[in-house]
């Protein structure tokens, strides 16, 4: 068994680290690179610095590395997308988003030449960003129950209804939107995906702030007309495209660097902070908790490598990804809980508060990690996947 990267992959990591070093010298670096930032960096960082950084990634050829050459990619193995994401996540930088991931790859695979010509170059140049409009007030885990109404009209579709939890809707140019086009079909077979400009006058975006400070949105659509050519692939095949996303994102979704960083930060605090004249590490109960966390971080690393080992074989790591997502997000919560328990009064202080330990990182983490176990499939849904696909247990 060998967990090491190849020489070429190591060279790539070195190259990305040098790129990051240069970028850190620029104005706005403290906005772009913020390892203490708990909420998803892609949605939280101010739009202008994030976009400038994405442009630099584009210039370096880091966007769409695994895309076919025909569409501006480099046909590199997906592992390079993973390595890039891991390095960026480790330094708290925004990562290339859904555009080069599931959206770009679905356009390549299923869309007309017109849509390919319009969207793919803009994605590779980091000219546009997307919001993902799947969840609705009555359709989250059971996404196939979505109700957003799309009625057939001459030359296109008229869309009316509501989406919720749409991250990025407050800055994205395009909405990747799932709606019900076949109300009389079985629920999985009556969904289509549309590409809709976010500046359509029929779209209203209302902010929703989560307890972890992840900015997401409610989106209301009134008589939004979408021409036929902006339907993704075929009408009523949307569910297939939605389900393929894990295949397209199998290399990029699951980073481990932020978890390792947090553990190192906690370890440093335990080694240096004092209580009642003793450093925290001298208390046996603190030491025990830290050892447990150290072992859990190693477990998470191995589980993440299992995801990669399946992805590298060009297979979809659905069970492995579910196990890693469940374990690592629960571990983030456990780590934040442990920090709250052992850091004392100042550990509870908000990041804007005077005297907050580690700039309030742990209090933010305590709130922020709750959200991690909900987005991209809740813990219960991950357990369902494991039950059904790996253990043949009833749901």
Give the interface with ligand FAD as residue ranges (CB under 6 A): 132-135, 140-141, 165-167, 210, 214, 216, 371, 374-375, 378, 380-381, 384
CA atoms within 13 A on the CB side of 26: 15
Distance CA 131, CA 207 (A): 13
What's the full length of the chain, in residues? Answer: 395
Minimum CB–partner distance for residue 276 and ligand FAD (Å): 39
Minimum CB–partner distance for residue 370 and ligand FAD (Å): 9
Minimum CB–partner distance for residue 242 and ligand FAD (Å): 10
Distance CA 324, CA 331 (A): 10
In terms of CB distance, is 136 or 320 closer to ligand FAD? 136
How many other C-beta atoms are found inside a 10 Å radius of the C-beta of residue 274?
Answer: 9
Closest listed residue to residue 312, CA positions, set 13, 63, 12, 82: 82
Distance CA 332, CA 297 (A): 9
Minimum CB–partner distance for residue 202 and ligand FAD (Å): 19
In terms of CB distance, is 65 or 371 closer to ligand FAD? 371
In terms of CB distance, is 111 or 371 closer to ligand FAD? 371
Minimum CB–partner distance for residue 168 and ligand FAD (Å): 6
What the block records as the tokens of 201 is 């006058």
In terms of CB distance, is 211 or 294 closer to ligand FAD? 211
Minimum CB–partner distance for residue 224 and ligand FAD (Å): 17
Asked if residues 196 and 203 have their Cβ atoms less than 8 Å apart, the reply is yes
Residue with tokens 């025909």: 70
In terms of CB distance, is 215 or 306 closer to ligand FAD? 215
In terms of CB distance, is 315 or 380 closer to ligand FAD? 380
Residue nearest ligand FAD, CB atom distance: 140
Residue with tokens 């987005």: 375
In terms of CB distance, is 10 or 380 closer to ligand FAD? 380
Distances (CA, A) of 255 to 153, 167, 188, 218: 44, 20, 31, 28
Say whether 202 sits in a helix, a strand or coil: coil
The C-alpha angle 90, 94, 100, rounded to 5 degrees, equals 115
Distance CA 299, CA 344 (A): 28
Say whether 28 sits in a helix, a strand or coil: coil
Asked if residues 241 and 179 have their Cβ atoms less than 8 Å apart, the reply is no
How many other C-beta atoms are found inside a 10 Å radius of the C-beta of residue 138?
Answer: 11
In terms of CB distance, is 98 or 361 closer to ligand FAD? 98
């Amino acid at each position: 068994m060998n967990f090491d990267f190849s020489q070429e992959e190591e060279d790539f990591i070195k190259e990305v680290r040098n790129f990051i070093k240069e970028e850190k010298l620029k104005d706005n670096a403290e906005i772009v690179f913020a390892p203490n930032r708990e909420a998803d960096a892609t949605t939280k960082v101010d739009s202008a610095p994030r976009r400038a950084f994405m442009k630099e990634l584009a210039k370096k050829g880091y966007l769409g590395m695994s895309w076919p050459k025909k569409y501006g990619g480099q046909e590199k193995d997906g592992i390079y997308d993973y390595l890039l994401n891991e390095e960026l996540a480790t330094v708290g930088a925004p990562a290339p988003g859904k555009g080069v991931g599931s959206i770009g790859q679905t356009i390549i695979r299923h869309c007309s030449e017109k849509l390919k010509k319009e969207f793919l170059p803009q994605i590779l140049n980091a000219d546009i960003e997307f919001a993902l409009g799947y969840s609705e007030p009555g359709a989250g885990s059971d996404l196939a129950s979505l109700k957003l109404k799309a009625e057939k009209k001459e030359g296109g579709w008229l869309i009316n209804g509501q989406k919720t939890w749409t991250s990025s809707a407050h800055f994205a140019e395009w909405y990747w939107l799932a709606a019900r086009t076949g109300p009389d079909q079985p629920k999985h077979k009556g969904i289509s995906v549309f590409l809709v400009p976010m500046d359509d006058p029929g779209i209203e975006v209302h902010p929703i702030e989560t307890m972890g400070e992840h900015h997401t949105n409610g989106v209301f659509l009134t008589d939004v007309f979408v021409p036929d050519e902006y339907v993704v692939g075929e009408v009523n095949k949307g569910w297939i495209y939605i389900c393929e996303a894990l295949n397209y994102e199998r290399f990029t979704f699951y980073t481990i660097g932020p978890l390792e960083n947090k553990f190192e930060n906690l370890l440093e605090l335990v080694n240096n902070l004092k209580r009642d004249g003793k450093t925290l590490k001298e208390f046996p109960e603190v030491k025990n908790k830290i050892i447990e966390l150290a072992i859990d971080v190693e477990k998470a690393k191995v589980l993440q490598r299992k995801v990669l080992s399946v992805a590298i074989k060009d297979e979809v790591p659905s069970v492995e990804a579910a196990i890693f997502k469940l374990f690592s997000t629960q571990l983030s919560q456990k780590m934040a809980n442990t920090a709250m328990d052992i850091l004392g009064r100042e550990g509870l202080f908000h990041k804007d508060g005077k005297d907050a330990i580690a700039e309030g990182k742990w209090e933010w983490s305590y709130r922020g990690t709750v959200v991690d176990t909900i987005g991209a499939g809740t813990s219960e849904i991950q357990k369902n996947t494991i039950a059904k696909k790996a253990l043949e247990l009833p749901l």
